[in-house]
Amino acid sequence: METTNGSLNRKLRMALVGGGQGSFIGRVHATAAVLDNRAALVAGALSSNPERAKASAPAYDIAESRAYTSYQEMIDKEKSLPVDQRIDFVSVATPNHTHFEIAKAAADAGFNVICDKPMTFDFAQAEELVKSVEKSGVVFAVSHNYTGNPLVRQAREMIQGGELGEIQAIRANYIQGWLRTAIEAEDQKQAAWRTDPSKSGAAGAFGDIGTHAYNLGRYITGLIPEEISCNLKTFVEGRKLDDYGHAVIRYSNGALGTVTASQISHGRENDAFIEVDGTEGSLQWRQEEPNVMIVRKNGSPHQMYTRDPNAPFMNEMGAAACRLPAGHPEGFFEAFANVYRFAYDAMVARAAGESFETKDTIYPNVYDGAEGMYFIQQCVASSADNGAWLPMKYENARS
């Protein structure tokens, strides 16, 4: 594990927005960000409630002086600090409807950003955010954390290298069951904002997890989508957003893809699952058992690739994303931390005045985030129009 940030020779300084008491994803960001000892959490605007923002700081070791009561205050004050004290980046771990203003303010102020997904409230915001990021030149990552799994990166590099041939089919599912009943009515915080159109955005399940499944297919295969047809359902009575949905995607090379997202499947936990068929081989990977991937070729025994940084069959990107030897299970935190870790490389380069890749990055970036918002917009529109085929090619999409 690298820890010195190379030429920078110091830890990166992190600020967290969100993550106050009761938060799930804020704590995940804070844990993942420091897992490799390359960053320190030094500032925060941990809650939109000023009192809670202050009260939550000690649990993160944030000094009182840098426990801000709003993100605006934080950005202003941090900007005015000496270069050798001020934060390097802002992690945005708030409900969806606030991502844009925070991320944009941070980027405009020149701070790098790690933003939770979905990136913004709607696609229009996303396009504006892209412009901010391009203008400011900051490093911008979006926490499509499943891309951080070593075997997902292994898959991506295998496909880029042609090991599976031409990709013709993608089946990506993300199946959960926790919103099977209207727990949002019982004051469950995580459920409440995710099912509230004013906070979550135009989609429910498809925004929260459908985007992950879509992104996973895109990240692994690099195929460019052309059209999408979507059917969203709201099965739980009284709910305002979709809790189940399905999309069919036509890719520009003729491949056919499907995305299914559910929050209403009893007992299903967090089952992001992808299968990819190519002319030379197929593969499948499941988030709940992330340390194994199955690769198949007709006529050969099925190959179980296990996450093994020392194995000859692991490629460079796969091996680089590992922290532990084979058989020592890595999980959610490590994958999440890989989004951070590889974004740090770019931050270090930027700090040194060096150029760095912004589109074909190993971590999900602002264009991926924007494409996710386009995906949500087109899915909701298609579903509203009886599953009509709508364009799905985002102009800035990575290939």
Q: Which residues in 177-196 contact a copy of itself (CB under 8 A)?
A: 177-178, 180-181
When the beta carbons of 70 and 181 are compared against a copy of itself, the nearer one is 181
Chosen residue from 73, 329, 359, 385 binding a copy of itself by CB under 8 A: 329
When the beta carbons of 169 and 349 are compared against a copy of itself, the nearer one is 169
Could you tell me the smallest distance in angstroms from the CB atom of residue 144 to a copy of itself? 15
Q: Is 6 in the site for a copy of itself (CB under 8 A)?
A: no
Q: Is 316 in the site for a copy of itself (CB under 8 A)?
A: no
Q: Spell out, one character per residue from 212 to 231, where the chain touches a copy of itself: x when CB under 8 A holds, - when not.
A: -----------------x-x
Both tokens assigned to 172? 């990506």
Three-point CA angle 255, 320, 211, nearest 5°: 40
- Under DSSP, is residue 40 helix (H, G, I), strand (E, B) or coil? strand
Q: 105-129 burial, b if ≥16 CB within 10 A, otherwise e?
A: bbbebebbbbbbbbbbbbbebbbeb
Residue 69, phi then psi, degrees to nearest 5:
-95, -5
Count the residues of the shown chain that bind a copy of itself, applying the rule CB under 8 A.
92
Q: Is 328 in the site for a copy of itself (CB under 8 A)?
A: yes
- Under DSSP, is residue 92 helix (H, G, I), strand (E, B) or coil? strand
Chosen residue from 55, 69, 389, 390 binding a copy of itself by CB under 8 A: 389
Chosen residue from 65, 80, 355, 386 binding a copy of itself by CB under 8 A: 386
Q: Is 267 in the site for a copy of itself (CB under 8 A)?
A: yes
* Total number of residues shown for the chain: 399
Q: Is 3 in the site for a copy of itself (CB under 8 A)?
A: yes
Rounded distance between C-alpha atoms, residue 241 and residue 124, angstroms = 20
Q: Is 228 left (phi over 0), alpha (psi -120 to 50) or beta?
A: beta
Q: Is 356 in the site for a copy of itself (CB under 8 A)?
A: no
When the beta carbons of 233 and 350 are compared against a copy of itself, the nearer one is 233
Amino acid at the residue 171 = R
